[in-house]
Every structure is written in C-alpha cells, then in structure tokens.
C-alpha cells in the first residue's frame, strides 16, 4: 500500500465522517460551508474521480432527486433548495453540451477520414 492509497483512504474516511456529521445535525445541511467542504473532500477521492468520467449526468440527476426528497421532508429550506437545484441543473446542461460537442467532433473526424 503506497502513500497515495493511504491518502485516498484518509479522504474516504473524512468524507464518511462529514456525511455522518450532516445526518446527525440536519441544520448543517442549510450551510454553504458544509456543502463546499463535502464537495471538496469528495472530488479529491480517486474512485469518485473515475466514477465521474462517464456518469456525470446520471449522478446529477440522482443528486437532484435526493435534494427533492430532502426538501420534501423539510431538511432543506426553499432558498437553499432552489440554489442547489439551479447549480445542479447548470452542471447537467454543461455535461450534456460537452457530450454533444464530443459526438459532433467524432462525426466531423469520420467525415474527414471518408473524404480522403
């Protein structure tokens, strides 16, 4: 086990403890600092980086569903809910636009190859 693996395990443990802290104290879910810290910890975990490569749109859709559930149960106030939905919606649109751009580039490359 190398130093990178140890650092990654530490980050995974830190992420679990942050999630547990949010579950134990629902008022934290309404603070921007909590979500920023959770995001920064999650994005540095190697497995999550690999997972995000092909499934960003699905993950964003799942997060929107979770947020809707938390809002319906009263854990998230209206302003926080609207802000997070707007951010996730923008992220979802950007992942779709990036995928369309990659498909368009692939089609253009195939057309160029066929012309030669």
SS3 category, 109: helix
pLDDT, tens digit, 9 for 90 and up, residues 2-33: 676 677 777 788 888 888 888 888 888 888 88
Q: Are 85 and 67 contacting, i.e. CB atoms less than 8 angstroms apart?
A: yes
Which is nearest to 7 in space by CA: 37, 44, 35?
44
The pLDDT score that the predictor gives to residue 59 is: 81
The whole-model pTM stands at 0.48
Question: Per-residue confidence at 86, pLDDT binned at 50, 70, 90?
Answer: very high
Question: Per-residue confidence at 1, pLDDT binned at 50, 70, 90?
Answer: low
């Amino acid at each position: 086990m190398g130093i990178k693996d140890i650092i990654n395990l530490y980050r995974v443990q830190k992420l679990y403890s942050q999630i547990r802290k949010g579950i134990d104290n629902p008022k934290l879910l309404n603070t921007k600092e909590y979500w920023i810290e959770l995001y920064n910890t999650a994005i540095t975990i190697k497995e999550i980086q690999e997972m995000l490569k092909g499934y960003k749109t699905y993950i964003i859709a799942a997060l929107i569903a979770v947020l809707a559930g938390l809002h319906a149960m009263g854990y998230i106030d209206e302003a926080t809910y609207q802000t997070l939905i707007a951010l996730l919606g923008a992220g979802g649109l950007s992942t779709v636009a990036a995928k369309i751009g990659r498909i368009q580039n692939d089609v253009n490359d195939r057309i160029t190859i066929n012309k030669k």
